[in-house]
Amino acid sequence: MMQTELDLFNPANPAEPQWIGKQAVVLPGLALAWVDALLPELRQIIACAPLRHMVTPGGLNMAVGLTNCGTLGWISDRRGYRYSPVDPLSQQPWPALPTVFSELAALAASAAGFADFQPDACLVNCYQPGNRLSLHQDRDEHDYSQPIVSVSLGLPAVFQFGGHSRNAPSQRIGLRHGDVMVWGGEDRLRFHGVLPLKPGNHPVLGSRRINLTLRKAG
């Protein structure tokens, strides 16, 4: 039987970790108990460092709105992709990484086998219906032995988890509000992306999806 999209969002046992690589795992609903603590912090971050559409090195406006918190923030402009200690909009440091963000990230990383994860950067991506993120590798960080922790909030999305080349086949993984994904080690540089967000209205976040990716960038 062909896998339907419904199946993607209804794993047999939603509480069980789903290993999608040797060192890549989806932790369904892990962040649900943290949402009430995450959201006020997120609001404050966005108030200080507003979501914006960055320009790619090729001169296109990114559809996904983004901002950062932490000592480093990921930016893109005509000069390329990189981490910056200051928000280019304000020339001020990014808002601090809230303790609750790093605690959740460390918990998730340890569940995936990465002890003592101490993120210094959190990229906040905001997707509106129709927005997608094309396949890419996270390779602007210094130390690839450190994992990536991704927290999904709001509307569900289909995440593509590919291989080590852009055209390798990719798995499609349903990510819902509260799901956390961790990839590191041999899976750290796998291509990944997000399919166009389906319209919907999430009871907590409305018509959008917010993804937090926590990294050790410096």
Question: Residue 138 interacts with Fe ion (CB under 5 A)?
Answer: yes
Residue 211 binding partner per list Fe ion, ligand SIN, none, with a CB distance cut-off of 5 to 8 Å that depends on partner kind: ligand SIN
User: Per CB under 5 A, which region of 23-31, 62-70, 95-103, 137-145 contacts Fe ion?
Assistant: 137-145
Question: Residue 211 interacts with ligand SIN (CB under 6 A)?
Answer: yes
CB of 61 or CB of 91, closer to ligand SIN:
61
Residue 132 and residue 193 in contact, taking contact as beta carbons nearer than 8 Å: yes
From CA 63, how far away is CA 51, in angstroms rounded? 11
Residue 23 binding partner per list ligand SIN, Fe ion, none, with a CB distance cut-off of 5 to 8 Å that depends on partner kind: none
Residue 209 annotated as part of some ligand binding site: yes
Beta bridge partners of 127: 209
Beta bridge partners of 75: 82
Long-range contacts formed by 48-56: CB under 8 A, 24+ apart: 48/95, 49/73, 49/87, 49/89, 49/90, 49/94, 49/95, 50/89, 51/124, 51/126, 52/89
Instruction: Select from 176, 177, 192, 216 the one that contacts ligand SIN (CB under 6 A).
Output: 192
Q: Token match 């709001």: residue?
A: 154
From CA 134, how far away is CA 181, in angstroms rounded? 18
Residue 192 annotated as part of some ligand binding site: yes
Question: Residue 150 interacts with ligand SIN (CB under 6 A)?
Answer: yes
Residue 136 annotated as part of some ligand binding site: yes
Question: Residue 146 interacts with ligand SIN (CB under 6 A)?
Answer: no
SS3 169: coil
Residues annotated within the binding site are 74, 81-83, 125-127, 136, 138, 140, 166, 192, 209-215
Residues annotated within the binding site for 2-oxoglutarate are 125-127, 209-215
Residues that bind ligand SIN (CB under 6 A): 123, 125, 133, 150, 159, 192, 194, 211, 213
